[in-house]
Each structure stands twice: as C-alpha cells, then as structure tokens.
Amino acid sequence: MIKHTFTILIIFLLNINLFGQTTDSIKSEGITSPLHQANIGKITFMGNAIPMDEYREIDFLKTIELTDSTDFNIRTYLGNSLTGYLHMLAPGLSVKELNQKGNYQFSFYIDDSLIYKENLNPRAGTDESKITRTVFRVPLISTSKEDSWGRFLWNRFMMNGGQEALSGGSHFLKIEIRPYINANELKVGEVIASGQIQLIRPQKNINEKQIAVQSINPGSGWKISTDEFDVQKIRSLNQKIAEDAFKNITSIVVIKNGKLLIEEYFNGANRNTLHDTRSVGKSFTSALMGLAIDDGYVESVNQTLKDFYDLTKFKNYSSKKDSVTLKSLLTMSSGFDGSDDNPDSPGNEEKMYPTSNWVKFTLDLPMDNTKIIGKNWDYFTAGVIVLGHILQKNVPGGLEKYANRKLFEPLGITQYEWQYTPQNVVNTAGSVQMNSLDYAKFGLLYENKGMWNGKEILTKSWVKSTFTKYLTLPDNQFNYGYLFWNKTFNINGKDCETFFSTGNGGSKIYVFTNQPLVVIITATAFNKPFQHIQVDRIMQNYILPAVIR
C-alpha cells in the first residue's frame, strides 16, 4: 500500500512539472480514430490535401510523379503529442520551455542514402498544436503556395542535396521523424514516425554532347594544362547541370598551376560572354584600394572618413562616424546602421538604389550604437560605394581610367563593362562584367601573390593583408578579409582553404591558399534561395574531388 501510494505521488509530481498548475490545460488529442490506431508511427503520403475525416487507407500513396503541377502532402500519425515526446527527453522542463527549445527532427533519405537532416526551428508550429496534436498534415509541395513550415523544409532538403539526388527516373524517398530538445545539450529521441514512397521524376532528353567534358578551343590566351583529372566526376557534374539539378550555371573554369585545365559553358554562354557577377566586383574594389595605397594616392587603410569628408554636413553626425576607417569598410565592420541582410535596416542596399546620390545616402546614415567599429561584421554594400568614391576623388583621371591603366591593361583584360552610380562613377559595389577567362586572370593574380608575367601588379603585402581572416561571420561558416570571403572545404580528409569573391546569382572566384587552384563559376540564379548552396555542392562533390589528386 505504501509503495502504491508513493508511485501515485511520483506520477502526480511529474504531471505538475510537465503541465504546470493543472493537467487539464494540456491534454493531447489521443488516438483520434481507428485509422489512427492502425497507423501509429507512420508517415503517409498524398497528392492533394484530403480532409482528415475523408482520408482512408486506400488514399495512402505508394508512388507519385513529381512535376511542376504536383501537390505533395504528408499526414503523420503519432502515439503522443510532440510536447509529450519532448517531456520524455527532458522531464525537468516546463511545457513552455519544452516548446521553446524543441521540435521535430526530420531525416530525408533517397534510395537508402541520408541526404538531409534538420532540427526544425522551435518556432515552427504553434504551441497548441505541439501540445495537443497527435495527427498532423503538412504540404511539402503546394502549387497554391499554402503557408506552412513543411514547404520551406522541403525546399531546404532540395537545396541541400535533394535536387541533386532526385535525378530523372525512379527513386525511393524515406522520411523519419524524431523529437529533439536543445536545452544546454542536444537530445534526440527515437524514431516516432517514418514512411516511404516511390518518387518518379520525368527524365530530360540528355545527349552525350551535354555530358561530355568540353574541349578547350584554341585562342584562349592561356597555356593548356596536361594534368589529369577525374573525367567521370566532371561528366557527372555536366549531367546534373543538363538535368537542371544545378540551375542557371553558365560557366566553369579551373586554373591549375597557372594553366587552363577545364573550360566549360552552359545555358547559352560562351567564351565571349560578359557575365553579370554582381558583388564579385567588390573584390576588384579591394584590389584598386591596394593599388591606390601603393601609389600614394591614399595614405593607408587606417585613414578615417573625416580625412575625406566634412561629416558634419551630413545627417546623423556623431563623433563615432569620424572614427570609421577604410579598413572597417573593407572588412564590412564600419558600424553604420546598415545591413543588407536585414530588409528593414536604414542602410539596406535596396533603399540606396532609388536615391539620387548613393554616397550621400551612406554618409547620412546614423551609426549603430550596438556595433563596435572593426569588430562587428554586417554585410553593407553602401560602404563599398563610399570606398569607390574616395578612390574616384583621389586617383588621377578618375577611377575608371585608373582601373584600366593599373589593373585591367596589365592583365590583358580588354573586354569588360562597368555599371555606374547616379554620379557616373563606376559602381565599386559590383557588376563589373567580363568573360570567365578574364575573371580567372584576376584570381590568378592573387594566387601568384600579386605577380603577373614576372611583374608586380599588387604588392605581396597587400595580398597578404587581403587574405587575412579579420572577422568570423555570425554563422561561423565563413571568415572575412578585405572584401573577400574565406572558407575551407574538406576533400577526402584534406583541408582546402580558399578566399573567394561571391555575388548574387551564385558567381564565384575561388583562390586557394594551399592548393595551386583558381576556380571560376558563373551563374544567373539571381535572388534564388539555392544560388550559393548549389555552388558549394558543385565544388565539394565534383570539381575539387576531380582536380585534387
């Protein structure tokens, strides 16, 4: 009797801890129907969303064809609510804490290979649904754009390998769901639901010419490399591009040991195409600043804005604005209240473009008192416009002529196009357009530590300063130099560090520090969520494994 009473007391205390003051305020739906009872722990699949009271086992799809007009939904039958499962992982937390720190973990498998795993953001789904629901439906693909976290989850799966894995033909998709909680440490529970379906994707008519490694035609101006590379890897990559698993890719160029190893064009581009690489052009601004400092037209990166402007004549003047250095503008750490990653930011680039004077727009901005100059990174295009204006005022003949004389002519770059600011100054924030082989010349200049054909174009010290990791970005995936990004790929256990230029659409100039490689990728996936992720996958899974032996 004492033992029985003690057990009841323990259960009562656990319920108080889980449910707050009363268990009545937090009851799950339980088992909702005989169909539910028969399918606990199953993820079922359907095309169009069928209401739950009309859903029958005969509606459970085993196969579905994915086309542009496909709707694709899952309905999941659980033995407990999410909050109940989370309580099993962390019995010491309140209901509110459980819902704030946990959610479902989804794992996506294609043909028995794990492609993508995600701990769904705790904010996905309402607290009420987490507490009560034991059956839920979410759309993965919705032609009506139904608002749901499921659609965004599916898109992330597709961007992170799903699109690549789901080539034309038949595949098996398996989804597993587990509960997870991240309170001081990550805890993941056992599988609470799983399901499998055959996916059929229409095959594109791909011919051998689209897959074959493209020959390097005469007249490139480059010495041709005789180094071996994994031809099959590049063939596989070409097939993925042809199948549109990698979208909007227009060119790939690989320079190894200073020689042209791979040169390929896609989607209508060719050797003469001038590519709109957007913010790749910021790295050219970095080079031009190095040239101006070497020539004595700018004293050093430690000069401040007050050396070039009477800042009291601009709005929101503060002494902090006087302290903004060229170095902080080169490293995206100037402290202005401007962030291109935040559409509501006063200094977001989209608010700059409609104005009649981009420099005034920038210098009128207030400073952000939460930022320390030189310490807090925030992507800020408008600051690079100011760098360009400073160069325009200080180099002889203006920046356009200076760039041609000091950078492009020495590199043999003759076909290029600038965009311009409203003041008809070259747009140093991006979109200097040239062909892929000329972008490769710029990359090789840095690979050669500023030397070109035995002549110093950029000083070795400037290249070293540029390729210094001054700041680690908030997501810890990248570092930042002087208008160059930095990351490290790992290929077969070997770290391959690169500083690189990148622009909207997915265009890149990769310069490797511990491999004799320069890689150019141009793409036109402007404003697409997959634009950068797919290029990372191209590098990680195809190009680098093909050329690093």
Task: Confirm whether 409 is domain-assigned.
Answer: yes
Same structural domain, 103 and 79: yes
Task: Confirm whether 240 is domain-assigned.
Answer: yes
Q: What is the C-alpha separation between 368 and 459, in angstroms, rounded? A: 34
Q: Give every residue of the chain whose pLDDT is below 50, as ranges.
A: 1-25
Q: Both ends of the chain: CA-CA distance in Å? A: 73
Cβ atoms 380, 387 nearer than 8 A? no
Task: Confirm whether 482 is domain-assigned.
Answer: yes
Same structural domain, 379 and 239: no
Closest CA to 106 of 177, 191, 182, 196: 177
HEC per residue, 258-288:
CEEEEEEECCCCCCCCCECCHHHHHHHHHHH
Q: What is the C-alpha separation between 232 and 100, in angstroms, rounded? A: 47
pLDDT digits 0-9 by tens, 81-140: 999 999 999 999 999 999 999 999 999 999 999 999 999 999 999 999 999 999 999 999
Name the helix (H) or strand (E) containing 187: strand 185-188
Residues contacting residue 283 through CB under 8 Å, at least 6 positions apart? 442, 483, 484, 501, 509
Task: Confirm whether 206 is domain-assigned.
Answer: no
Q: State residue 19's pLDDT score.
A: 40
Same structural domain, 257 and 303: no
pLDDT digits 0-9 by tens, 416-429: 999 999 999 999 99
Same structural domain, 412 and 444: no
> What does the angle CA 455 – CA 501 – CA 358 come to, to the nearest 5 degrees?
105
Cβ atoms 439, 280 nearer than 8 A? yes
Cβ atoms 71, 80 nearer than 8 A? no
CATH number for the domain spanning 502: value is: 3.40.710.10
> What does the angle CA 276 – CA 279 – CA 280 come to, to the nearest 5 degrees?
75
Same structural domain, 237 and 305: no
Q: Show which of 382, 417, 452 is a domain's final residue.
A: 417
Same structural domain, 321 and 273: no
The SS3 of residue 275 is: strand
Structure tokens at 367: 């400073």
CA distances from 29 to 33, 80, 131 (A): 10, 8, 9
pLDDT digits 0-9 by tens, 317-372: 999 999 999 999 999 999 999 999 999 999 999 999 999 999 999 999 999 999 99
Same structural domain, 289 and 363: yes
Same structural domain, 270 and 284: no
Same structural domain, 283 and 262: no
Closest CA to 530 of 505, 496, 499, 503: 505
Angle separating helix axes 281-295 and 381-394, nearest 10 degrees: 30
Q: State residue 475's pLDDT score.
A: 85
Q: Show which of 357, 390, 417 is a domain's final residue.
A: 417
- Show the domain range for 174: 27-201
pTM: 0.92
Same structural domain, 145 and 134: yes
Q: Show which of 201, 236, 255 is a domain's final residue.
A: 201
Q: What is the C-alpha separation between 81 and 66, in angstroms, rounded? A: 31
Give the CA radius of gyration of the chain: 28
Structure tokens at 491: 């290929």
Cβ atoms 106, 175 nearer than 8 A? yes
Same structural domain, 197 and 100: yes
What is the domain count for the chain? 3
Task: Confirm whether 18 is domain-assigned.
Answer: no
Same structural domain, 378 and 231: no
Task: Confirm whether 429 is domain-assigned.
Answer: no
Task: Confirm whether 393 is domain-assigned.
Answer: yes
